[in-house]
Amino acid sequence: MNPRYSVVIAGGGPVGLALARLLEQRGCRTCLIARADTTGAFRPIALSHASFTLCQSLVPLVADSPIRTVEVSQHGQPGRTTMQASEHGLDALGYVIDLTTLSTALAHDMQPPAHIGSVTAWHPQASDIRVDWADPSGQVSSVDAQLLVLADGGHGMRAAREYDYHQQALVCSVKPERGHDGIAHEIFTADGPLALLPCGDRYAVVWTLPSAQAARMLGADEPTFLAALQNLAGDRHGRLSEPGPRQAQPLLRRQTRSQEARVLLIGNAAQTVHPVAGQGLNLGLRDALVLALQAAGQAHTDLGGAEFINRYERTRSFDRHVTVGLTDVLARVTRIGAGPGMTLPGLTRGLALTALQACPPARRFLARRMMLGARALP
């Protein structure tokens, strides 16, 4: 007889790990199936204040890279707005952490520990679902559950909606000459947004570029790379130096919903978004929290039943669609007429940023949406 659980989670990233811990805290018998730990390349994640607080309630995290201020501007165009943690009575709007560091912390001493392997198939039935998984040696085992949650990509699900930005996010770190003072910058450029995120005593760089240009910057020598980056970043914090290893990732917007009984998608399995405004992981963590709270509130309900799944999807629909739509609009609109030289779209964006700066209630409203999600109350 196969082991039986309430929920099986496929995916060992932060969203799957957080969901497993949240469900176990609420007395839901859970099985996590995750690939073996591997040390990935540097991938900075901007956790909102709410997301960091959630993760810190699960495992100890060091808050050594706070974002106290977010400054939004345009390269070569007027307009600027600044959002500050002090406007919300907080020490920080969010925190920057490496993805591998966060995953390692969430996985440490997890009880019960994850099964190391990957889900290979699943077989929904009337009252449960059988999940087949293979360990690193290829040995296949099966478990039974009420619900299978796919918490990362790569499970062969066909996206209901998909858009290729034909861009890549180039990621690395650099050393600012005069420090960063906890200030994060979002700079709209002709090629896409450039984010500079405080990370220790360095800046984490998330630079959106057309795919061909990203390839050139990946292969550029250090002086060429730094000169191009400095041109966009300006001299806000002096000369940028000591770039770390560079990597790039293609950018897609995807939204997927399972059409199979007893299968639910959250996090990257449900949606991927453009990195502008840094909302992807925060959205996935909200997926996990809502699912855990809903499961805890319906202890005697069939967690894999259509009623439970449909209620969850309805609850998450607004936040998901608004966040995906907002990041998509920002990614497209901020490129129109951007770059050196005055243009009508650039002047219009500049006026919008200036108006936002002049209207504290609107600025606080936007910051609160970024921190807490689209369903958050004012």
Q: Are β-strands 69-74 and 30-34 bridged in parallel, bridged antiparallel, or unpaired?
A: unpaired
Same-domain check for residues 126 and 54: yes
Centroid of chain to Cα 136: 28
CB atoms within 10 A of CB 128: 20
Q: Whole-prediction pTM value?
A: 0.92
176 closest CA partner among 207, 191, 197: 197
∠ CA 69-72-77, nearest 5°, is 150
Same-domain check for residues 144 and 71: no
CB atoms within 10 A of CB 3: 13
> Which CATH number characterizes residue 87's domain?
3.30.9.10
Element (H, E) at 44: strand 44-48
Sign of CA dihedral 207, 210, 214, 216: negative
Alpha carbons 232 and 281: distance in angstroms, whole number: 26
Centroid of chain to Cα 67: 16
Same-domain check for residues 168 and 32: no
Q: For residue 353, is it within any domain?
A: yes
> What is the rounded average pLDDT for all residues in the chain?
89
CB atoms within 10 A of CB 140: 11
Same-domain check for residues 81 and 198: yes
Q: What is the mean pLDDT of residues 193-211?
A: 96
Same-domain check for residues 352 and 242: yes
Same-domain check for residues 149 and 292: yes
Domain of 281?
A: 4-60+99-160+254-328
Q: What is the mean pLDDT of residues 273-277?
A: 90
Q: For residue 378, is it within any domain?
A: no
Domain count, the chain: 2
∠ CA 262-267-271, nearest 5°, is 95
User: In degrees rounded to 5, what are phi and psi of residue 193?
Assistant: -70, 145
Q: Is 90 exceeded by the pLDDT of residue 16?
A: yes
Local structure of 312: helix, strand or coil: helix
Q: Is 80 exceeded by the pLDDT of residue 256?
A: yes
Alpha carbons 17 and 114: distance in angstroms, whole number: 9
Tell me if 155 sits within 8 A of 161, measured CB to CB. Answer: no
User: Hey, which residues does 97 pair with through a beta bridge?
Assistant: 45
Q: For residue 296, is it within any domain?
A: yes
Least confident of 143-147, 207-211, 234-238: 234-238
Tell me if 180 sits within 8 A of 41, measured CB to CB. Answer: no
Q: What is the mean pLDDT of residues 142-170?
A: 86
Q: For residue 377, is it within any domain?
A: no
User: Hey, which residues does 123 pair with through a beta bridge?
Assistant: 130
pLDDT for 44-76, tens place per residue? 999 999 999 999 999 999 889 999 999 999 888
Q: For residue 244, is it within any domain?
A: yes
Same-domain check for residues 108 and 94: no
Least confident of 79-93, 322-336, 354-368: 354-368
3-state helix, strand, coil in the chain (%, to 5): 35, 30, 35
Residue of higher predicted confidence among 40 and 193: 193
State the pLDDT at residue 268. Answer: 92
State the pLDDT at residue 301. Answer: 81
State the pLDDT at residue 344. Answer: 61
Same-domain check for residues 47 and 187: no
User: In degrees rounded to 5, what are phi and psi of residue 360?
Assistant: -55, -40
State the pLDDT at residue 194. Answer: 95
Q: For residue 243, is it within any domain?
A: yes
Same-domain check for residues 53 and 177: no
Q: For residue 316, is it within any domain?
A: yes
The residue with tokens 């130096």 is 241
Q: What is the mean pLDDT of residues 26-33?
A: 93
Q: For residue 212, is it within any domain?
A: yes
Same-domain check for residues 127 and 16: yes
Same-domain check for residues 351 and 259: no
Alpha helices in the chain (DSSP H): 14-25, 49-58, 99-107, 211-219, 222-233, 280-296, 306-333, 344-358, 360-372
Same-domain check for residues 274 and 140: yes
141 closest CA partner among 159, 165, 127, 121: 121
> Which CATH number characterizes residue 114's domain?
3.50.50.60
State the pLDDT at residue 35. Answer: 85
Alpha carbons 94 and 85: distance in angstroms, whole number: 9
State the pLDDT at residue 355. Answer: 79
User: Hey, which residues does 236 pair with through a beta bridge?
Assistant: 238
Whole-number CA gyration radius for the chain: 21
